[in-house]
């Protein structure tokens, strides 16, 4: 049994809470949230980490981004392993402070890029690595959803931290890093179409060190069926459209995601490519990520995404943010 604390039970923290409570191998040792209404019946509740007086092995931090570094450092000093939501921190400097705190106190800090635990993402990575489509050359990704206006009523979401760059594209960038390695170049454009002090719509081009160039169209102001959560049905809050939102083109074929449709058999444009749909097992990525956290706590696994890896994703995100000038 792995005993976990949970700090923050807002939008994503409530999902972590429910998954921990439902899991036979996990115990919710306590909830830390300054808002007592966010505590849970039967679970010890605390207003701050300093007040926690129950035993635990690790803590899930699902608090506003600016609190990730101070809370992770405090937790590490208490000997707690940490699973912190993305982005790892608000700045690269704070991400490094967190990584050093983990080193100093002999604990692990994992970052919640949970898509790496999605069975379809893992199957996609296998297809790309297998050479089925040859060497990947280019890809096209869409994340085009409309968030309700009241999503932005929370103070920390009003500015740049609430833009889809740090909230949503960060997952896509991490997934692309999983597939294609490190990003070497970032260029793009962004604009604000809502009356707000943050960009909501844009496009960018990323080059990866493996030689892949990816175009990304992103917006949280348009209600389309194209985006990771809609395509995969990963979020209980977003209807499942099953539409593809990522297409990867290689020297011998192509693959679409999340349908996992592989196109192959054509040597050039005069020949007809044939599609083959690949299967993937079922599994809830947030649950699989918690199980991975328990494995890391027990010393059975290394972190799939640690603070320094997540900092490389954050560095790309900060570059994309620079494509916007208010």
Ligand X SMILES: NC(=O)c1ccc[n+]([C@@H]2O[C@H](COP(=O)([O-])OP(=O)(O)OC[C@H]3O[C@@H](n4cnc5c(N)ncnc54)[C@H](O)[C@@H]3O)[C@@H](O)[C@H]2O)c1
- Using CB under 6 A, list all residues that contact ligand X: 7-13, 32-35, 38, 62-65, 67, 85-86, 112, 114, 154, 167
**Shortest Å, Cβ 60 to ligand X:** 10
- Judged by beta carbon, residue 63 or residue 201, the one nearer ligand X is 63
**Shortest Å, Cβ 173 to ligand X:** 13
User: What is the number of the residue whose Cβ is closest to ligand X?
Assistant: 10
The number of beta carbons lying within 10 Å of the beta carbon of residue 54 is 11
| Cβ proximity of 124 and 260 under 8 Å | yes
84: tokens are 């912190």
| Cβ proximity of 286 and 15 under 8 Å | yes
Order of strands across the sheet that contains 45-46: 45-46, 26-32, 2-7, 58-61, 81-84, 109-111
**Shortest Å, Cβ 86 to ligand X:** 6
**Shortest Å, Cβ 212 to ligand X:** 24
What would the 3-class secondary structure string for 270-319 be?
Answer: CCCCEEEECCCCCCCHHHHHHHHHHHHHCCCCCCCCEHHHHHHHHHHHHH
- Judged by beta carbon, residue 112 or residue 164, the one nearer ligand X is 112
- Judged by beta carbon, residue 72 or residue 216, the one nearer ligand X is 72
- Judged by beta carbon, residue 138 or residue 238, the one nearer ligand X is 238
Please choose, from the candidates 250, 249, 253, the residue with its C-alpha nearest in 3D space to the C-alpha of residue 273.
Answer: 253
Give the alpha-carbon dihedral of 304, 307, 308, 310, to 10 degrees: 70
**Shortest Å, Cβ 229 to ligand X:** 8
- Judged by beta carbon, residue 38 or residue 278, the one nearer ligand X is 38
- Judged by beta carbon, residue 165 or residue 179, the one nearer ligand X is 165
**Shortest Å, Cβ 87 to ligand X:** 6
Q: How many helices (H) and strands (E) does the chain have?
A: 9, 14
Order of strands across the sheet that contains 254-257: 183-191, 201-208, 213-219, 136-144, 246-250, 254-257, 261-264, 274-277
- Judged by beta carbon, residue 85 or residue 249, the one nearer ligand X is 85
**Shortest Å, Cβ 85 to ligand X:** 3
């Amino acid at each position: 049994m792995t005993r976990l604390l949970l700090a923050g039970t807002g939008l994503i923290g409530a999902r972590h809470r429910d998954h921990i409570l439902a899991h036979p191998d996990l115990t919710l040792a306590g909830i830390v949230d300054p808002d007592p209404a966010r505590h849970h019946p039967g679970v010890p509740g605390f207003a701050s980490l300093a007040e926690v007086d129950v035993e635990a092995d690790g803590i899930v931090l699902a608090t506003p981004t600016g609190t990730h570094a101070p809370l992770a450092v405090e937790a590490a000093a208490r000997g707690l392993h940490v699973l912190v939501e993305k982005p790892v921190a608000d700045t690269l400097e704070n991400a490094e402070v967190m990584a050093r705190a983990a080193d100093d106190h002999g604990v692990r800090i994992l970052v919640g890029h949970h898509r790496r635990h999605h069975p379809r993402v893992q199957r996609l990575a296998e297809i790309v690595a297998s050479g089925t489509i040859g060497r990947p050359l280019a890809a096209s990704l869409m994340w085009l959803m409309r968030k309700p206006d009241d999503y932005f009523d929370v103070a920390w979401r009003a500015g740049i931290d609430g833009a889809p760059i740090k909230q949503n594209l960060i997952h896509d960038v991490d997934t692309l890093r999983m597939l294609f390695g490190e990003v070497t170049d970032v260029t793009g454009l962004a604009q604000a179409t809502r009356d707000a002090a943050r960009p909501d719509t844009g496009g960018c081009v990323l080059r990866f060190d493996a030689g892949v160039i990816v175009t990304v169209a992103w917006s949280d102001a348009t209600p389309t069926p194209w985006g990771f959560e809609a395509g995969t049905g990963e979020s209980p809050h977003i209807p499942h459209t099953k539409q593809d939102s990522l297409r990867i083109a290689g020297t011998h074929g192509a693959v679409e995601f999340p349908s996992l449709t592989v196109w192959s058999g054509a040597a050039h444009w005069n020949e007809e490519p044939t599609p083959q749909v690949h299967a993937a097992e079922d599994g809830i990525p947030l649950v699989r990520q918690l199980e991975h956290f328990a494995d890391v706590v027990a010393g059975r696994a290394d972190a799939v995404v640690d603070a320094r890896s997540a900092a490389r994703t954050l560095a790309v995100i900060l570059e994309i943010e620079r494509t916007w000038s208010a």
